[in-house]
Structure 1
Amino acid sequence: MTHVSKKKIEELIKIKELIKKYKVISIVDLTTLPSSNLQAIRNKLRDKIEFRVTKKSLIIRAIDEVKEKDLSKLKPYLENSIPALLFSNEDPFRLFRLIKDNKTNAPAKPGQLAPADLTIQAGPTPFTPGPIIGELGAVGLQTSVEQGKIVIKKDKLVVKQNEVIKPEVASILAKLGVEPIEVRMSVLGIYDNGIIYEKSVLDISQEEYINNIKLAHFQALKLAEEIGYISKDNVESLLIKAYRNALVLSKELKLETTESPEKEEVKAEIKEEKESKPEEQKEIKEERKSEEAEKSEEMKEETKAKGGFVGYKKEVEEKAQKILQDLQDKKIHEQEKPKQKSTWD
């Protein structure tokens, strides 16, 4: 029987406890992340994420033994990586963003590609005269000695973006404390409520996402406007469109349009309300509400006195009566005409 150390058993128990405790479990790759940088990132995210760097075999065994959650689809991410487990209750997308945004800088290594143009700035260095002068000259730096220290005389572009960093350049950059390489944990997969989210799904631009939502909202409003679907979001634009169409139609039909004094009065009141202070706006609204109530009562009384409907006018009634009389006379005249006999009579 194979002997298993007490330390491994305790570690396995701890991993299983964390898997049961947290809602979201992620596997990250530490292949390109130096231990010092890992520690710095862990310190930044200590309050939101719990890290566990452990052996692959223990991770696989913990996944197999925890039956409450099916984490089997995380196993492939353990291959060809130096894995670490991250435990959190954050949303998967927010967790990915936290990991991606928390990066540190590291010295360049020979053979790496420069992430940007790397320039060594002119100025004093901490070095005293010695072999270092030759090393600085080997990468094209002009130097002099001032007050016992080596001084770089001119700025020098030592490697362009996407070019391979040569050993001598990497050595000088490290000695000068230049750390041009951004390093972060690489998220391989995140488990949440039975779903595995891959990096390709999680790595979306927040700005692009917001712009897509804005575009969808705009297109939805345009569609609603085209089909005449009314909602609180588009009713104003629909009324404006209807008003403009009415103006075009009245122009085509050569109809006369007039602005009533009441309409002009309402426009003036609206303008006054917009230009007034908040407390004054409240008073104006209360006054208008009272006036509208009085007008409503007056209109009801007028309706009763003038035939039972709003907008009643004497001339309209006379015109309607004349049309009805003409139609009746025409009908009587048609009835009095002698009926023509057919050839069969």
Structure 2
Amino acid sequence: MSSKQGNKAVYFERVKALFQEYKRVMVVNVDNISSSLMQKNRQALRGKAVILMGKNTLIRRCIKEITNIPGIVYLSNALKLNVGLIFTNEDLHSIRELVALNKISGPAKAGAIAPCDVIVPAGNTGLEPGQTTFLQALNINTKIARGTIEILNDVKVITKGDKVGSSEAALLQKLKITPFFFELQPLSVFEDGQIYPIEMLDIKDSDLEVSFAEGNKQLTALCLATKTPCPGALPYYLKGGFKNCLAIAEASGYTFDLHKKFAERSSSAAAVAAPAAESAAPAKGESKKEEKKVEEEEESEDADIGGLFD
């Protein structure tokens, strides 16, 4: 008993030291992870991160004794099922990429949750004709070709998220297909007293900028509709007030600096537009004259034709 207690005390001290040294903790799923694959991940993360494994109840007891880290209780609630912790101070994107590089292929075991769809391709299976009934039980169309069974069409035998059945597992084993890849699967991240799902790492700064701009646009529209002042609506209020001031100045003849600048710009714009309008006017007049001539010529021709029949 004393040795067990001593080991627990050492483990507790190690956990406390990790929480003091590292600011970020990534919770990962370790289902179907072999010891060799875990060793590969430890080697890949050496110098950048530390992987901590242990019973969830034991880690929760360690976390309860840590009182100087705010929000650590949220991490305790995330310790469910078969998980491990990766402590790091590095960028979480790079850590996730390193973890994703270390994966191994494995067979589909009965009762396991499928991480992906499994499709058996059409073609020769190499199985003897006596296995035909086994394939027909799985609704797989086959034929006998050159003394072996041939699958006629591609068949989806396992759907992602479903449990692998014993028949499907036996079929894939007979066909020597290892469809699954096993790796550490990041689930969530604990940082600065908050825990959030791993999908949050996929959000880019550009996405945040677009969301902020859209939210600001909606807020400004709401404030303008309800006549509630806000910083976003201020330019529209100033624009409306300036229009009112210009209208009063035009009606009363009173001028001010901004009104003079606006009037100068308006007059310059009108001066530029006037020559264009004048050049377009003769063209219209000429076109009307041409149309008039054409109409007169048509009338004269009609008159001449009518004289021939008199």
| Length-normalised TM-score, structure 2 | 0.52
Deviation, structure 1 residue 173: 2.9
Q: Larger Cα Rg: Structure 1 or Structure 2?
A: 1
> Within 1, Cα distance between the matches of 2:13 and 2:214?
50
Describe how 1:148-187 pairs up with structure 2 within 5 A: 151-159=150-158, 165-174=164-173, 175-179=175-179, 185=185, 187=187
SS at match of 1:81: coil
Structure 2 residue ranges without an equivalent (≥5)? 251-262, 274-310
> Within 2, Cα distance between the matches of 1:210 and 1:218?
12
SS at match of 2:2: coil
Q: Which residue of 1 aligns with 2:84?
A: 84
Deviation, structure 1 residue 53: 1.4
Structure 1 residue ranges without an equivalent (≥5)? 251-256, 268-345
Instruction: Label 1:160 to 1:53 Cα distance change in 2 as closer, same or farther (>3 A).
Output: closer
Q: Are positions 1:262 and 2:280 aligned together? A: no
Instruction: Label 1:197 to 1:177 Cα distance change in 2 as closer, same or farther (>3 A).
Output: same
Describe how 1:194-209 pairs up with structure 2 within 5 A: 195-197=193-195, 199=197, 206=203
More divergent stretch after superposition (160-169 vs 230-239) = 230-239
Q: Which residue of 2 aligns with 1:110?
A: 110
Deviation, structure 1 residue 86: 1.8
Letter in 2 for 1:197: I
Letter in 1 for 2:54: T
Q: Are positions 1:54 and 2:54 aligned together? A: yes
> Within 1, Cα distance between the matches of 2:46 and 2:155?
40
Describe how 1:211-222 pairs up with structure 2 within 5 A: 212-222=211-221
Deviation, structure 1 residue 38: 5.4
Q: Indicate the RMSD between aligned Cα atoms, in angstroms.
A: 5.4
Describe how 1:100-139 pairs up with structure 2 within 5 A: 102=100, 107-111=107-111, 118-125=118-125, 127=126, 129=128, 135-139=134-138
Instruction: Label 1:266 to 1:238 Cα distance change in 2 as closer, same or farther (>3 A).
Output: farther
Deviation, structure 1 residue 87: 0.7
Contact residue 111 and residue 166 of structure 2 kept, 8 A: yes
> Within 1, Cα distance between the matches of 2:86 and 2:210?
31
Instruction: Label 1:66 to 1:98 Cα distance change in 2 as closer, same or farther (>3 A).
Output: same
Deviation, structure 1 residue 24: 2.2
Deviation, structure 1 residue 18: 1.7
Deviation, structure 1 residue 69: 3.4
Letter in 1 for 2:18: L
Deviation, structure 1 residue 58: 5.2
Letter in 2 for 1:171: A
**Could you list the per-position Cα deviations for residues 229-269 of structure 1 after superposition, in whole angstroms to 9, with x for gaps in the alignment?**
797998599859987xx99xx9xxxxxx9x955125789xx
| Length-normalised TM-score, structure 1 | 0.48
